[in-house]
Amino acid sequence: MNEIGKDGGMMKYEVVLFDLDGTIIDPKEGITKSVQFALAKMGVTVENCDTLESFIGPPLQLSFQEQFGFSIQQANEAISYYRERYKPTGIYENTVYEGMAELLAELKSKGYKLVIATSKPTVFAQNIAEHYDFARYFDGIIGSELDGTRTLKAEVIEEGLRQLGSYETSKCIMIGDRKYDMIGAKANAMDCVGVTYGYGSEQELAEAQATYIVQTVPQLRDVLMQ
């Protein structure tokens, strides 16, 4: 049975989980410059940060291994260099997508439970949410651990739901811009929305079997308010 929202309408979903990077915020500057910094420390020169956009979304360890052939040990070393720049500087080099703050406020006012589910370390996600003043809309902010555990999106989503309490997954929906968000949602038996205004292509999201694919924040609102 669908719950009735505060506006008197029926709510198809009760819990909305949001990816952070490429979904709520555009983190390109902070992430790519910090990856560039880390690679330089590892002896790899990358002149154009645009070529590092693929690092936005997946776990860092996976990206360093797949894209530069690093061993697990090298990838972990690169991550430590990445955080050397990201923690004091890169963490604040973001832009909140236009219309997102208004959407979060509206969802909250209508009684939805909101959760951030990100592969970014929880402490960084919390700092960003507080700095850009959208932490207040969320009932939970769940990310990976600094020791490299819980980086898979399926694990992050599972932990987010565990912390919220008892919710049927049919009443939950995951929003993200990469295939990892769709795969994580499917692993937890929930619907998912792929947003193309982030860093994943429509083809990537379709192949990952997104329940819905939207191009804009207003279109995202339409899906959630249906």
Residues annotated as catalytic are 19
Q: Which residues contact 59 (CB under 8 A, 6 or more apart)?
A: 119, 144, 151, 152
DSSP state of 150: S
Angle among Cα 65, 187, 119 to the nearest 5 degrees reads 40
Q: Which residues contact 118 (CB under 8 A, 6 or more apart)?
A: 19, 20, 21, 125, 142, 143, 144, 156
**Could you tell me the maximum CA-CA distance found in the chain, to the nearest angstrom?**
59
Residue 210 to residue 176: CA distance in whole angstroms: 10
Q: Which amino acid is at 99?
A: G
Question: Residue 126: which H helix or E strand, with range?
Answer: helix 122-131
- Specify whether the CB–CB gap between 111 and 171 falls below 8 A: no
Q: Which residues contact 139 (CB under 8 A, 6 or more apart)?
A: 113, 114, 115, 164
Residue 137 to residue 223: CA distance in whole angstroms: 19
